[in-house]
Amino acid sequence: MVFKREWDASCPRVWDRWEKDGRTWVIQDLRPEDDEKAVQILVDHLCTDEPLCNASGLINDPISIASIEVVWRKTVAERMTLGCYTEVDGQMTLVALNACLVMDKGETPDFKIEGKAWKNVYAVIDYIEEKKDAFEYLGLDRVLHALGLVVTREYRGNKLGGRILAAREPLCKSVGIKATATVFTGPASQKLAAKCGFTTIAEATWSELADAGLDFPRDDKVVKYMVKKYE
């Protein structure tokens, strides 16, 4: 059965809230009115800075940008995306997010991947997920996946990434999902995920990706497929 989030009067729900340096921070369900802003943040900050996108020159490929925007719009429309906001005088500003989606065993994402650069990046996800079946490893039929964790440049250094990853747990538990799985592409995000309790179940160096026919420079940089089960 295809997952559908029940979006009722209790939504958007707040998963974490704290005060620091005179500022209030809130991690909650992404507000529907912020969907387009979220997509723009992903394009402006992730497409340029994420290692695979950067190496593929994705930001300079209009066809790839148009295609990835469609993927992200579909993802945030599932209403499982986490938004991190700053709150000042009652005004909420979206400063970071994790675009999440629910996947069932045997399900193929309803995404049309277009553009040379985006196809190259997405092929990495397919390649590493084929190395190890997360559903079999976890013994589950439904898992929360993610297609982008990004903090806007102005707000980096506030340790928001770990808080956002941790917020996946109450989000998952609220809808009966028992685990999450994600392809982490850079050393900082991989280290953060490990610190948050994620386990690596598959990995590939850029050299291995190049040997598999993907357009990446031969390098010892590593992409990791990581999971976390919620008890």
* pLDDT at residue 21, as a whole number: 83
List the strands of the sheet with 179-184, edge to edge.
14-20, 23-29, 82-88, 91-104, 142-151, 179-184, 222-229, 199-205
| pTM for this model (two decimals) | 0.96
Rounded to whole angstroms, how far apart are CA atoms 93 and 184?
26
pLDDT at 181: 99
Res 89: pLDDT: 84
Residue 5, pLDDT score: 95
Considering only CA atoms, give the Rg of the chain. Answer: 17
pLDDT for res 22 = 84
Q: Where are the domains of the chain?
A: 14-229
Q: What is the mean pLDDT of each run of 10 residues along the chain (231 residues)?
A: 87 97 95 98 98 98 99 97 94 98 92 97 97 98 98 96 98 98 97 98 98 98 99 85
Which CATH superfamily is 14-229 part of?
Gcn5-related N-acetyltransferase (GNAT) (3.40.630.30)
DSSP state of 154: G
Which backbone phi and psi does 142 adopt, to 5 degrees?
Answer: -145, 130
Burial tier of 111 (Cβ tally within 10 Å: 0-12, 13-18, 19+)? middle
pLDDT of residue 165: 98
**What is the model's pLDDT at position 52?**
98
pLDDT the model gives residue 1: 54
Q: Identify which of 220, 225, 190 has the alpha carbon closest to the alpha carbon of residue 208.
A: 220
